[in-house]
């Protein structure tokens, strides 16, 4: 993991920072590849190619096949959301998310032992509370370890306990803007209190890198007629977040 690979590749335990605190996980991070100069200065920090393990040639093939399935599934879910928001099913195609940016992480959370707790002097936070940055996240988590928590409307943290054969679907920041607040991004965090190493694979379906995200007309109509959010270019939002997570590389 380094700034020169556009923050792609392997990160050691504690390298990812959320709200100023190191997260207790290790991960392989991949993003849609961005050729130099493709989106001008705003994409420069995220330019780069993914890094694959040399000794596992099938890894890249399987990974890319999985990404294609995740993109197809995300598009189907977004068609439903678009209809619910009073728009055409293709609202998120074309210049909004027809050429979606994406990210995917393969994350490992260490097993929880008393010794580790003392050594790390941490409170067991595998990933600090945050919302995801884009449209939708599809989390594929280990079937038998409850570690992901989401905060409900009453402010309580509840377990998003795994249901075999399903994904947890989180709403991202950009869907809040496009829906003028009708969709609330899911605040979530990870605490692996189990005595076993946990693996989860979140896939992030994002807008086009250069999409200008602003409340949709149909959503403004449903929420009192005025825009509650300023327009934001998705790539700027993402670059700000990623640089913050890896502040030590600045
Ligand atoms: O490990 C999980 O279940 C979720 C990870 C997560 O929230 C993230 O990487 O954004
Ligand atoms: Fe997340």
Q: What is the pLDDT of residues 10-54, one digit of tens each?
A: 888 877 777 777 878 889 999 999 888 888 887 788 888 899 888
- Could you tell me the distance, in angstroms and rounded to a whole number, from the CA of residue 138 to the centre of ligand 2? 10
CA dihedral 124, 128, 129, 131 (to 10 degrees): -140
For the chain, the domains span: 3-249
**Region for 113 from its dihedrals, namely left if φ exceeds 0, alpha if ψ lies in -120 to 50, beta otherwise:** beta
As to burial, measured by CB atoms within 10 angstroms (0-12 exposed, 13-18 middle, 19+ buried), residue 211 is buried
As to burial, measured by CB atoms within 10 angstroms (0-12 exposed, 13-18 middle, 19+ buried), residue 27 is buried
Q: What share of the chain is helix, strand, coil (3-state, %, to 5)?
A: 30, 25, 45
Residue nearest to atom 8 of ligand 1 (CA): 202
Q: So what's the pLDDT on residue 249?
A: 47
Question: Which residues of 19-145 form beta strands (DSSP E)?
Answer: 21-22, 26-31, 102-109, 125-130, 136-141
With the most atoms of ligand 1 within 8 angstroms of its CB, the residue from 29, 105, 144, 203 to mutate is 105
DSSP one-letter code for 48: B
8 A C-beta contact, residue 90 and residue 79: yes
Q: So what's the pLDDT on residue 81?
A: 97
- Could you tell me the distance, in angstroms and rounded to a whole number, from the CA of residue 68 to the centre of ligand 2? 20
Give the number of the atom of ligand 1 that is nearest the alpha carbon of residue 141. 3
Average pLDDT of 201-218? 96
Give the number of the atom of ligand 1 that is nearest the alpha carbon of residue 147. 3
- Could you tell me the distance, in angstroms and rounded to a whole number, from the CA of residue 221 to the centre of ligand 2? 30
Q: So what's the pLDDT on residue 114?
A: 63
Taking domain 3-249, whether its CATH number is 2.60.120.330 is answered by yes
Could you give the 3-state DSSP secondary structure of residue 194? coil
pLDDT > 60? residue 209: yes
pLDDT in tens, 169-184: 999 999 999 999 999 9
Give the number of the atom of ligand 1 that is nearest the alpha carbon of residue 188. 7
Confidence of residue 116 (pLDDT cuts 50, 70, 90): low
Ligand nearest to the CA of 27: 1
**pTM for this model (two decimals):** 0.92
pLDDT > 60? residue 168: yes
């Amino acid at each position: 993991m380094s700034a020169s690979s556009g923050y792609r590749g392997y990160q050691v335990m504690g390298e990812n920072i959320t709200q100023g605190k190191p997260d207790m996980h290790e991960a392989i991070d991949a993003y849609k590849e961005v050729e130099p100069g493709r989106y001008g200065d705003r994409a420069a920090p995220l330019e780069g190619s993914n890094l694959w393990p040399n000794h596992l040639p099938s890894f890249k093939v399987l990974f890319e096949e999985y990404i294609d399935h995740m993109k197809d599934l995300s598009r189907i879910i977004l068609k439903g959301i678009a209809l619910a928001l009073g728009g055409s099913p293709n609202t998120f195609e074309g210049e909004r998310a027809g050429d979606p940016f994406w990210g995917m992480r393969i994350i490992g959370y260490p097993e929880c032992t008393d010794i580790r707790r003392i050594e790390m002097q941490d409170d067991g936070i595998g990933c600090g509370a945050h919302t995801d940055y884009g449209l939708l996240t599809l989390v594929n988590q280990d079937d038998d370890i409850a570690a992901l928590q989401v905060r409900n409307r009453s402010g309580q943290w509840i377990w998003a306990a795994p249901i075999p054969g399903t994904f947890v679907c989180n709403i991202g920041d950009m869907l809040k803007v496009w829906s003028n607040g009708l969709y609330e991004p899911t605040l979530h965090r990870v605490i692996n209190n189990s005595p076993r190493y946990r693996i989860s694979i979140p896939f992030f379906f994002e807008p086009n890198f250069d999409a200008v995200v602003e409340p949709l007309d149909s959503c403004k109509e449903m929420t009192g007629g005025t825009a509650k959010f300023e327009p934001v270019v998705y790539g700027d939002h993402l670059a700000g977040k990623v640089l913050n997570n890896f502040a030590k590389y600045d």
